[in-house]
Each structure stands twice: as C-alpha cells, then as structure tokens.
Amino acid sequence: MTAWLVRRLAAAMAIVFAVVTITFCVIHLAHGTPFLPGPDQDVDPQVVARLRQQFGLDRPLPAQYVKYLWALLHGELGESFYLRRPVADALADAIPPTVTLAGAALLIDFLLGLACGVYQAVRARRFADIALGNLALFLNAMPTFWLGLVLLLVFGQWLRWFPVAGMRDPVLCPTIAGARCTVDVLWHLALPALTLGLVGAAGTARYQRAAMLEVIDQDFVRTARAKGLGEGRVVLVHTLRNALLPLITLFGLAFPFLLTGAVLVETVFAWPGMGRLSVAAILQRDYPVVVAAALVASAMVTLGNLLADVLYAVADPRIRARSERA
C-alpha cells in the first residue's frame, strides 16, 4: 500500500511539473507584451525597458525557464507584474474565497443531489421522478455562467433579495466581526454557490438515482421489507449506505468541474477568488501569476484524484487489491 502511495505521489509531482512547463511556454509565446501600456496612456520607453530588464524578460526563453524553475525549487513563486506584490501573497488572498465557494457549492450539490436522487428512486417512473429528471437534465445542460447571469438578474437586480456582486459588504463586515459578518458573507455566497451547486446537483441526482435503483431491488432490501421494517428505515439505512461509493468518484470528478466552473461564475459575481485572478492574469499577460495559478490548479486536481483513489481503496478492499495489481 505504501509503495503504491509513493508511486502515485511521484506521478502526481511529475504531472504538475509538466503542467508548469507547458503553461510557462505557452504564455510566454502568446501575443501581447507585458508592461506595454496602450495608446490610451503615455509610455516612456525607458521605463518599459527597465521594467522588462528587471523581470528578466529580455533574456532568451530557455534562460528564463531555468531561472524560474530554480526559484520554484526554492519555494519562490515570483512577483506579479501588475499586482505589485509577491505571487504567493496574491494567491493566499485568492484561494480562501475559491475554497469557500467550492465548498458551499459541493455542499449544495451533494445534499440537493442526494435528496433528489433518493426521492426519484423511491418514486421511480412516476410523475415526480419524470418531472425532476427532466429538470435535472435541463439544469445540467445550461452554461453555468448563463444560469448565474439569469439568477443575478432576477434575484439580484429585479427582486433585490441578494447582493449584486462581491463577497462581503465592506461597511458591515470589517466593522463587526463574528455573527453579522458571517451572515453577510453567506448572503453574498448564496447566489454563486447556488449557481454552481444546482448544475452539479442535477448530475449528482441522476447518478444517485441510478445507483439507488440498482440496489433497491436486491434481495437484502426485500428481506428487510419482508421483516416489517418501515419504508423510511429501509431506504435510509440499507440502500443509502451501499449507494454511497459512487459519491467518492463524484467528489473526484466534481473538483475539476468546480475549478473550471468557478472561473466563469467568479467573473459573473465578482467573487474575489482564484478563477477571477487567473483570468485577469491571462488577459493582462501577468506571467508569474498565470504559471503559479496553473501549478495550484493542477496540484489541487491531482491531489484530489489521489485522495479519491485512497478513499476508494480504503472503502472497498476489492478495489485496493485490484489497484495494487495494476
């Protein structure tokens, strides 16, 4: 088991390294020169030249790459071109909001999806099942950012039930810490998390419904029913436990989806997370931030997959044996 884990970790590091290299090359070769202000503003060519020299942009690409790798191995992520601070600081400020959003979205995803899937399985092939199934199909098919725009328009602008942008109210939140601030953040979190969560919940519901239908007809359930246990107990205790395994797979699948979906949703809702940071950095050609963001994203995805595999192996000894043979 340990040998397998070590091998997987080494593979994970190799993957992240490959991603960093690819990102570095692509972004440096892209059109658009950093530090070059447009015709809208005055450009002093001396200032620009000095800046490019300061950041090493006048050296050849392989030399820049080696310098970057060397710094990376020492734990240095570099300094952002435009944010005027170390990249690590910018990431440290951006990661918690993304994690909060992803966490809330996952919560909504699983709770709603689970509840929906179970209900659909119990009411299989009747009206509720078909109606919910079609709703899930529709939700799963729409672009996440479009759903965000529509929710924002209806609940934010027209009904004024939720705020229009941002993570917190700057007047309320630094003023009173604790409960009021938490409520304020939750209020701002509602629409973006709902956007991401609803689309994910639709997929989870379909998955869960199928998984439960597979189990619900099996012998041990019929035996439980025959023994006279209440329907609710049968559903919750027996079928759910066995249908939980696919959830771990879903967790591994949901992670990259949330990272990508978060990019667009963060842009729509002005959520100050990593998605917005990465998109702005790419559009501005802020090289250090772009490469660091790719590193963090791929590390999160790879480690997430690793975690899912470990959980799987722990949960099901058959899988553990199979994976050790592979």
Partner 1 sequence: MNLGKWLALAAAGAVALLAAAAVRRRAAASAAGRRFLAHPTATPGVFILAFFVTIALAAPFVALDPNSMPGIVDLRDRPPSVLHPLGTDVYSRDVWSRIVYGARISLGIGALATLVAVTVGAGVGAVAGYFRRWVDAALMRLVDVGLSMPRIFLLLMAVALWERVPLAPLVLLIGLTGWFGTSRLVRAEVLSLREREFVAAAQALGAGPARVIFRHVLPNAAAPIIVSAALGIGNVMLLEAGLSFLGIGVPSPAPSWGSLIYDGWQHMAAAPWTSTFPGLAIALVVMALNAVGDALRDALDPRQEGP
Partner 2 sequence: MPGTRPPDRRTAPVVLVGVLLVALASCERRGGCTGDYCGALVFAAAGEPDILLPPVTQQAYARDVLEQIFLKLADLGPSGNTVGDEDFRPLLAERWEWDGPLTLVFHVDPRARWQDGQPVNAADVVFTFDIYTDSLVNSPYRSSLRSIGAVTARDSLTAVFRFRTRYPEMFYDAVYHMRMLPAHLLRTVPRDQWRSAGFGRAPVGSGPYRFVSWKAGQSIELAADSTSFLGRPHIRRLIWRFTPDLQVAVTQTVAGDADAVDVLGPPDNVKRAKGAPDLVTYPYRGAVYGFLGFNLAAGGDTNKPHPLFGDRELRRALAMVVDRQALLKNVWGDLAQVPPGPLARIWSIWDPATRELPYDTAQGRRLLTRLGWRDSDGDGILERDGQPLAFRILVPTTSGLRRQYARLLQQQFRAAGADVQLDEVEFSVFDERTQAGRFDAALVTRTVDPTPSSSIAQVWTSAGRSNAGHYANPVFDRLVDEARAATGRDEAKRQWRRALETLNQDAPAVFLFAPDNVAAVHRRVAGVTIRPDSYWALVRLWRIPADQLTERDRMEP
Q: Hey, which residues between 279 and 318 contact partner 2 (CB under 8 A)?
A: 283-285
56 lies in the binding site for partner 2 (CB under 8 A):
no
Read off the tokens for 58: 């006048």
Query: Which of 2, 3, 29, 41 lies at the binding interface for partner 2 (CB under 8 A)?
Result: 41
306 lies in the binding site for partner 1 (CB under 8 A):
no
The binder of 305, among partner 2, partner 1, none, by C-beta within 5 to 8 A per type, is partner 1
Q: Hey, which residues between 155 and 174 contact partner 1 (CB under 8 A)?
A: 157
Closer CB to partner 2, 17 or 119, in the complex: 119
168 lies in the binding site for partner 2 (CB under 8 A):
yes
Per residue, what are the HEC states of the chain? CHHHHHHHHHHHHHHHHHHHHHHHHHHHHCCCCCCCCCCCCCCCHHHHHHHHHHCCCCCCHHHHHHHHHHHHHCCCCCECCCCCCEHHHHHHHHHHHHHHHHHHHHHHHHHHHHHHHHHHHHCCCCHHHHHHHHHHHHHHHCCHHHHHHHHHHHHHHHCCCCCCCCCCCCCCCCCCCCHHHHHHHHHHHHHHHHHHHHHHHHHHHHHHHHHHHHHHCCHHHHHHHHCCCCHHHHHHHHHHHHHCHHHHHHHHHHHHHHHHHHHHHHHHHCCCCHHHHHHHHHHHCCHHHHHHHHHHHHHHHHHHHHHHHHHHHHHCHHHHHHHHHC
Which one-letter amino acid corresponds to residue 213?
Answer: L
Closer CB to partner 2, 2 or 41, in the complex: 41
Entry field: residues in the chain: 326
Q: At closest approach, how far in Å is the CB of 158 from partner 1? A: 9
Query: Which of 33, 134, 218, 223 lies at the binding interface for partner 2 (CB under 8 A)?
Result: 33
Q: How many CB atoms lie within 10 A of CB 143?
A: 11
262 lies in the binding site for partner 2 (CB under 8 A):
no
Closer CB to partner 1, 238 or 285, in the complex: 285
The binder of 204, among partner 1, partner 2, none, by C-beta within 5 to 8 A per type, is none
130 lies in the binding site for partner 1 (CB under 8 A):
yes
Query: Which of 36, 61, 111, 138 lies at the binding interface for partner 1 (CB under 8 A)?
Result: 138
Q: CB–CB of 201/114 below 8 Å?
A: no
The binder of 287, among partner 1, partner 2, none, by C-beta within 5 to 8 A per type, is none
15 lies in the binding site for partner 1 (CB under 8 A):
yes
Which residues of the chain form contacts with partner 2 (CB under 8 A)?
31-33, 36-47, 50-51, 54, 79, 82-86, 90, 93-94, 97, 122, 156-157, 160, 163-172, 174-176, 179-180, 183, 230-232, 267, 270, 272, 276-277, 283-285
Contacting residues toward partner 1, per CB under 8 A: 11, 14-16, 18-19, 22-23, 26-27, 29-32, 130, 133-134, 137-138, 140-143, 145-147, 149-150, 152-153, 157, 206-207, 209-211, 213-214, 256, 259-260, 263-264, 267, 278-279, 282-283, 285, 290, 293-294, 297-298, 301-302, 305
